[in-house]
Structure 1
């Protein structure tokens, strides 16, 4: 088969006006085949290099994404813990506020009762606050003595 190819090369060279011996035609064929083999091997090498690079790059990106995902999960866990703590604080603050409101409402009711009692006794302009009330508001008054047991 190669002799038929060499004969074809010699004839084509003759048609082009070049006198070519079968030896040089065989050498040209061998050179062309060598170039084709080298080009194919080079292309295969480049393809293998790119494939290896893509695999290594993919593995690196996967590790980077895993690290980002782990950090995001940690942040989410901390945010959930903080939200839980905040919810507990809100609940405690609301309970304290309800207790203080109930205490304030009871105190206001007591003051209204005292005032009504003073009005009923014919003393409408008398202050209904007691020494305990003033001490509770941390108001010092000359009219009130220190409670027993205080230094």
Structure 2
């Protein structure tokens, strides 16, 4: 298991089925960075409670809304046009890199927020994903389960 959230996230995202599941959850309105953080916290045995959930939401929500989503919107908006325009393809790739860097920054902030939370004390670990995905429109709970399975299968 990776000790830092960024490495954990990269390793998790590279596992079979995780990318597609994360994209489905993202389309349903779930912040994938928060989910990856939740999986990381679950694996570290950090107890989930309402105060910690709120801290993570308060940290992630403005960054997601004001930085990550606008970059993602621009990147996806350019997808069709970039297929026939080499220069726009290059610009789109730069936007994609900025989006990834923005997500990396968010994951670093989430890790800092959780760094002092005690580890190896939790027993009901599935609470993190449920809590962090709460309120998403059209949430597919099976996708959360698939994500958890993909991470725990080694």
- Structure number with higher helix proportion: 1
TM range (shorter): under 0.3
Query: Structure 1 length normalisation: TM-score?
Result: 0.26
The structure with the largest alpha-carbon Rg is 1
Please report the TM-score for the alignment, with normalisation by the length of structure 2: 0.25
